[in-house]
């Protein structure tokens, strides 16, 4: 990555999984502008990379991301904040065609929770804490904390988090619907990696199409979403992997998939 310091580490492994790790241990992985920029660059680099079939997004085994770096906000005015255009970095994550799994240990607060919610699956450790505490410092979430959260958990649970700024446990997040799975803290990254590797072995076009339909259908009427889903499924009948996977299933053998 560019920059004087690599605050976001990127690794690609031979199993088709990329790992993106926020690396500011001295600041509890607080999301300053440089971290956001490096995250945007990392995810943009995956968009056309056919060797990356799944992504794990994580921090350290102690903290995912403890929120925005308030030192960059305290004296910032509205015009300067607008000119920063940080939404472009978040958009690069949202537009990533590959499935993204967030592996969350420790705090995922404010922008950190919003970063986790940019993923498609959230694996959280039993000791993880999530929250949108922006109201306590005089602002509100600005990268999905009022919108993605509401779509995930509903109005009343989103109001509870956004209006109080209270933290919730991973178990409470699972109950609300903003966490996919809770595992022991020491198993978070390993669980996310195994899941990513399992997804990476599946037919690529089908996986990416399933992700696209879940996301696109959420903002459409049911009738329109069902039409999109049906057409996307029909298109996959042209893929070589569909033919190979079905044939292999019938012949009781392992398919040889090519992502085509």
Active site residues: 68, 111, 114, 134
**φ/ψ (deg, to 5) at 182:** -115, 130
Contact (Cβ atoms closer than 8 angstroms) between residue 109 and residue 28: no
Burial of 74 (0-12, 13-18, 19+ CB in 10 A): exposed
Contact (Cβ atoms closer than 8 angstroms) between residue 21 and residue 36: no
Burial of 218 (0-12, 13-18, 19+ CB in 10 A): exposed
Q: How far apart are CA 222 and CA 227, in angstroms?
A: 9
Residue 103: strand pairing partners:
58, 123
CA atoms within 13 A of residue 170's CA, in its CB half-sphere: 23
List the 181-183 sheet strands across, edge first.
8-12, 17-22, 54-58, 100-104, 121-125, 181-183
């Amino acid at each position: 990555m560019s920059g004087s310091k690599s605050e976001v580490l990127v690794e690609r492994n031979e199993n088709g999984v990329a790992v993106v790790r926020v690396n500011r241990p001295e600041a509890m992985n607080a999301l300053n502008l440089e971290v956001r920029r490096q995250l945007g660059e990392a995810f943009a680099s995956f968009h056309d990379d056919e060797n990356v079939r799944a992504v794990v997004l994580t921090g350290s085994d102690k903290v995912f991301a403890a929120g925005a770096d308030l030192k960059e906000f305290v004296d910032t005015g509205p015009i300067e904040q607008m000119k920063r255009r940080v939404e472009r970095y978040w958009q690069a994550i949202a537009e990533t065609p590959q499935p993204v799994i967030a592996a969350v240990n420790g705090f995922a607060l404010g922008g950190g929770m919003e970063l986790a919610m940019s993923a498609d699956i959230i694996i959280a450790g039993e000791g993880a804490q999530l929250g949108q505490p922006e109201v306590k410092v005089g602002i509100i979430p600005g990268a999905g904390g009022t919108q993605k959260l509401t779509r995930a958990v509903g109005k009343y649970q989103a109001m509870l988090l956004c209006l109080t700024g209270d933290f919730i446990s991973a178990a409470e997040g699972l109950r609300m619907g903003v966490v996919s799975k809770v595992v022991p803290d020491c198993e978070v990254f390993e669980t996310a990696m195994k899941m990513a590797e399992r997804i990476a072995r599946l037919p690529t076009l089908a996986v990416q199409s399933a992700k696209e339909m879940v996301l696109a259908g959420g903002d459409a009427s049911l009738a329109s979403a069902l039409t999109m889903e049906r057409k996307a499924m029909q298109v996959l009948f042209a893929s070589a992997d569909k033919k190979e996977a079905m044939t292999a299933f019938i012949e009781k053998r392992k398919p040889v998939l090519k992502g085509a």
